[in-house]
Amino acid sequence: MTSSYGAGPTTGRADLTAEEPDPRRWKALSVTLVAGFMSLLDVSIVSVALPSLQRDLGTTPAQVQWVVSGYALTFGLALVPAGRLGDAIGRRRMFMIALAGFVLFSALAGAAPNATWLVFARLAQGIAAGALAPQNSALIQQMFRGAERGRAFGFFGATVGISTAVGPIIGGLILALAEGPDGWRWIFYVNVPIGVVALLLAARFIPHSRRRSRGHIDVVGTGLLGGVVLALLLPLVEAGAGGLARLWWLFPVAAALAVGFVLWERREERRGKEPLLDIGLVMCTPGYATGVALATVYFIGFSGIWLVFALYFQAGLGYTPLQSGLAVTPFALGSATSAVVGGRLVARLGRLLTVMGLTLVVIGVTAAGVVLWLAPPHMAGLFVALPLLVGGIGGGWVIAPNTTMTLRFVPVSIAGSAGGALQTGQRIGAAVGTATLTGIFYSVLASSGGDFRKAVAFAVGVASVVEVVALLVGILEWRTDRKRAGLAQSRVELPCPELH
């Protein structure tokens, strides 16, 4: 087959279509982003309600841990299978099924009469959120072309960045408005009216996609990949309860299952059957493997620092959850603004935009660590605002442009599974970062005799080092991308197997 390297930075096989763009595409995008914002927000928003939730339901520490981490675990497990299912039965249908499930399980979580009910509702809610997430990026691939796709991914990146950063802020506001012992229930109930409206609008605006008939479902591949994700995430989400010490043996199990998964998927391809995840995505699609690696590494530092900040501001400085959330708002504001602008720039700058963004992230995060170490405690929230704003501006040029550049050569027919694999990397990175950076924070806190400033500075410093690694990956891919462009101008054919 003829390679599409010459198609340019925002085109490729995924864009080779004569179909006219749907006139409702921007309204449809708005609906999908609202739903995506809710599902990602629920990763972090619950943390601020844990004390009141624990008092009301009498939960054990283990149950409290699973209210938070169980959602993240099932979220990660559902991503790739749900993305592939959306490719098969239609993304609109899969989006609406997942959104309806998310609304239902949010209501059940809010109505939970006991801790066991709440944990199971959160596990189911995570599955629905994980089924919803890959449809968002796949629908953007389906509905948008060329420079418009970069703009759409810009809004998508802003949604991811803001939802991750503002969870504690919104949670604090809800708890402040919903007074009383049952106020925590509105953390979940708030999803219900918003989700119902989004469901009605989705039925009106999201276009149908062509369904591909499939007589084969890769059940074995689904089980193997699910085992890989479970074995990686379970020790991490249980890290606060000693999971790394008890469950370390799951990491080599994950490696063995990953090898088995690759071998099985290749066997399915040789037999002419539909694999769960086309290995050609990683082995052959330009920029895909590097983009997934960059996203995974970036999310280790990006997601891990928010809990560290919350611990420092609340436990160390005595901030309320709302005050703690407001202290990190500059990052969210910077990220939201730059992500929208970045969506317009990515068509012109390509991977260079990601490199620029990661450079600002490293500068901002490093400066934040230094400021929190040296600033007077009563001024820490004010002094850290500028570094977080700089880091946020950089962050807005990482998530969305990286998603655009990672998926640009992916055929629309497998956009769901490709987007699901990319987001699985992000979820694994987030779990690694949260477990590692909070572990470092507590370790330094204990060894320093309760020095919160030293603990937060050290943990944030480690996050900065991680982002330097992401920057190096970005620079490597940027240079490789320029070489590809040179080969394309020379009309050198780089054959690539057809993806399923």
Tens digit of each residue's pLDDT (9 = 90 or more) over 17-76: 345 677 888 999 999 999 989 888 887 788 777 777 878 888 776 677 778 778 878 888
3-state SS record for 118-169: HHHHHHHHHHHHHHHHHHHHHHHHHHCCHHHHHHHHHHHHHHHHHHHHHHHH
pLDDT at 202: 92
Q: Is the pLDDT of residue 2 over 80?
A: no
pLDDT at 391: 94
Q: Quote the tokens at residue 206.
A: 């999201």
pLDDT at 460: 94
Q: For the residues 260-264, what does the mean pLDDT come to?
A: 87
Q: Is residue 178 very low, low, confident or very high in pLDDT (cuts 50, 70, 90)? A: confident
Both 290 and 225 in one domain: the answer is: no
Q: Is residue 487 very low, low, confident or very high in pLDDT (cuts 50, 70, 90)? A: low
Both 240 and 155 in one domain: the answer is: no
Q: Choose between 146 and 8: higher pLDDT.
A: 146
* 118 assigned to some structural domain: yes
Q: For the residues 151-168, what does the mean pLDDT come to?
A: 77
- Report whether 391 contacts 305 (CB < 8 A): no
Both 358 and 236 in one domain: the answer is: no
Give the total number of structural domains in the chain: 2
Both 241 and 291 in one domain: the answer is: no
Both 96 and 232 in one domain: the answer is: no
Q: Is residue 239 very low, low, confident or very high in pLDDT (cuts 50, 70, 90)? A: low
* 11 assigned to some structural domain: no
Q: In sequence order, what are the residues at sequence separation of 6 or more whose Cβ sits closer than 8 angstroms to the Cβ of residue 286?
A: 5, 12, 409, 481, 484
| Helix axes 288-310 and 452-489, enclosed angle (nearest 10) | 160
pLDDT at 160: 76
Both 260 and 322 in one domain: the answer is: no
* 194 assigned to some structural domain: yes
Domain with residue 424: its CATH number is: 1.20.1250.20
Q: What is the pTM of this model?
A: 0.79
Q: Is the pLDDT of residue 345 over 60?
A: yes
Given 259, 275, 291, the domain boundary residue is 275
pLDDT tens string 266-289: 888 788 777 777 777 777 788 888
Give Cα 49 distance to the centre of its chain: 22
Q: Choose between 114 and 235: higher pLDDT.
A: 114
Q: Quote the tokens at residue 271.
A: 């037999």
Q: Is the pLDDT of residue 349 over 70?
A: yes
Both 252 and 348 in one domain: the answer is: no
CA 387, 313, 48, 460 torsion-angle sign? positive
- Report whether 493 contacts 2 (CB < 8 A): yes
pLDDT at 147: 75
Highest averaged pLDDT of the listed ranges 13-27, 79-93, 454-468: 454-468
Both 294 and 231 in one domain: the answer is: no
Q: Choose between 103 and 156: higher pLDDT.
A: 103
Q: Is the pLDDT of residue 12 over 90?
A: no
Q: Is the pLDDT of residue 181 over 50?
A: yes
pLDDT at 5: 32
Helix (H, G, I), strand (E, B) or coil at 197: helix
- Report whether 342 contacts 357 (CB < 8 A): yes
pLDDT at 7: 37
Given 236, 251, 275, the domain boundary residue is 275
Given 275, 298, 316, the domain boundary residue is 275
Both 130 and 248 in one domain: the answer is: no
Both 436 and 473 in one domain: the answer is: yes
pLDDT tens string 97-152: 999 999 999 999 999 999 889 999 999 999 999 999 889 888 888 888 877 887 88
Both 75 and 188 in one domain: the answer is: yes
Q: Is residue 80 very low, low, confident or very high in pLDDT (cuts 50, 70, 90)? A: confident
* Closest alpha carbon to 331 in 383, 393, 247: 393
Q: Mean pLDDT of all residues in the chain? A: 82
pLDDT over 70 for what percent of the chain? 88
pLDDT at 8: 39
pLDDT at 474: 93
Q: Is residue 211 very low, low, confident or very high in pLDDT (cuts 50, 70, 90)? A: low
CB atoms within 10 A of CB 23: 8
Both 437 and 304 in one domain: the answer is: yes
* Closest alpha carbon to 251 in 230, 220, 277, 225: 230
* Closest alpha carbon to 469 in 299, 305, 328: 299
* CA 326/CA 500 separation, integer angstroms: 46
* 325 assigned to some structural domain: yes
pLDDT at 485: 66
pLDDT tens string 360-379: 999 999 999 999 999 888 89
pLDDT at 9: 40
* 498 assigned to some structural domain: no
Q: How many CA atoms lie within 13 A of 337 on its CB side?
A: 12
Can you give the residue range of the structural domain that contains 329?
22-208+276-488
* 65 assigned to some structural domain: yes
- In total, the chain counts a number of residues equal to 500
Highest averaged pLDDT of the listed ranges 5-14, 309-318, 336-345: 309-318
* 3 assigned to some structural domain: no
* 169 assigned to some structural domain: yes
